Amino acid sequence: MNNSISNKIVELEKEYFGDYNNKDYAKFIVNNRKVFDDENNISKKGHKDKKWILLAEDGKIRIWFAPAGNIPTNPEIIILGQATSIPAMDSIITENINRKEENIIRKILINSSYKGIMLGNLGSLLNYLKINNYLSLDFKKEWGNIENCIVGIDHSPTGRLFEGSKDTKIMFTQYCMHCATTQNIDTGTYSTTSSNLNKYIQLNEEIYGETHYRMIEEKFFLSNAKLLITLSQNIFKVLKKRYYEKYPNISWLDTKTMHFSNNKVVTWIPHPSPGNLFYNRTSNKKGVLETMIEQNDMDQEIDLNIACSDYPLFRNQANQALFLKKYFNEKSV
C-alpha cells in the first residue's frame, strides 16, 4: 500500500482530539493557523487545480481535510453522514483558509455541511417524522425556519445551529470525518461514490485509528444524547456492527433489524441528496416523500403503493420513513 500522508495535520488532530471536551475544529484550525497556511502552499491540487489539502491516498482513494459540521458541547440529536461532500469541501477551503476567528470558522463549517435543496429535503423529512416532539426539543430555537422546508426547494436556514453555537442541541457530522473521494483514472475527476465506503473507512482507520470514533462514542453512546440518525442504511449497518455488542442498552431501529432496548435510539433515514428520488420530483412525477406528506396533510392513511407507484425501487426508504413516523409518534412525550 502506498500512502502519501500529511503527517503534520493528522498527528496534530490525533493529539488535539485526545478527547472532545470543549474542543472542535474551529478551535483546532485557529490554534494551528500557521500549519494550514503552510499546508495550503504545498497541498496536492484537486480537480481543476483547486487547492484541496490531501491527508492520505491509496491508489484511487483519497482523503482530504474538510471537517464539515459541528461538535456541540451536549447535543441531543446527531445526524451522521458518510463523509464530507466535494461542494462542502470547496466551501470550507474557499471561505476558511485565511480566517482567524473561531466563531466565523464555526459558522462556515456548519453551513457547509448541508445547504440548498439538500437542507430543504432534510428539514422536510424531520418535520414529517415529528422528531421535535419525540425529543421535546425546541427546533425553532435551534433551526428557526425548519417548518418552512419544502421537499426539493432551496432552503436558507436561521437559528443558533447555523450561527455556529457550541450550545446547540443538534449535531451534524460524518462517519469518515473528512472528504473521501475516488478518482476516475480516465478523466482525473473525483467523486464521493458510496460504493467505496469500505475503502474510505479502511484508509480513515489507517491514519486516524480511533480518533474520530471516539467523538461518536463521547457525543452519543457515553452521553445524554437521545437520538443518532445516519443518512443511509449502509452507515447504520456499519455502526451496528461496530457498537451493537459494546453498548447493549441501545435501540437499533430498522424495518428489517429491529432491536428495542430503551429510548436511546440509533436509526437511519434516506439521504437528502437532490438526486434521491425519494425526495425529489422529476419534471412530471412527484417524489415519494412529497406524496406521503400530501396523504398525511389530508389525514389519509399512508398508502405506500400509491406513494411508490412511480418509484418502486424506493419502497425500502419509504418503509423506513413510515416506520419511524409511527415509532416517534408512539414514543413522543
Which residues are bridge partners to 292 per DSSP?
none
pLDDT (tens digit per residue) in 115-125: 999 999 999 99
287 vs 280: CA distance, rounded Å: 5
pLDDT (tens digit per residue) in 80-89: 999 999 999 9
pLDDT (tens digit per residue) in 248-261: 889 999 987 666 66
pLDDT (tens digit per residue) in 144-184: 999 999 999 999 999 999 999 999 999 999 999 899 999 88
Domain for residue 134, yes or no?
no
**Residues 6+ positions from 13 with CB-CB distance below 8 Å:** 28, 208, 211
- For 30, counting Cβ atoms within 10 Å of its Cβ (0-12 exposed, 13-18 middle, 19+ buried), the class is middle
Lowest mean pLDDT among 5-9, 61-65, 155-159: 5-9
Domain for residue 241, yes or no?
no
In the chain, the number of structural domains is: 1
Domain for residue 1, yes or no?
no
Domain for residue 329, yes or no?
no
> What global pTM score does this model have?
0.92
Give the sheet arrangement for strand 179-183, strand by strand: 54-58, 61-64, 179-183, 190-191
Which residues are bridge partners to 174 per DSSP?
81
175 vs 104: CA distance, rounded Å: 24
129 vs 219: CA distance, rounded Å: 23
- Residue 93: domain span: 7-115+155-231
Domain for residue 321, yes or no?
no
pLDDT (tens digit per residue) in 209-237: 889 899 999 999 999 999 999 999 999 99
pLDDT tier for residue 330 given thresholds of 50, 70 and 90: confident
Domain for residue 192, yes or no?
yes
268 vs 252: CA distance, rounded Å: 9
8 A C-beta contact, residue 13 and residue 208: yes
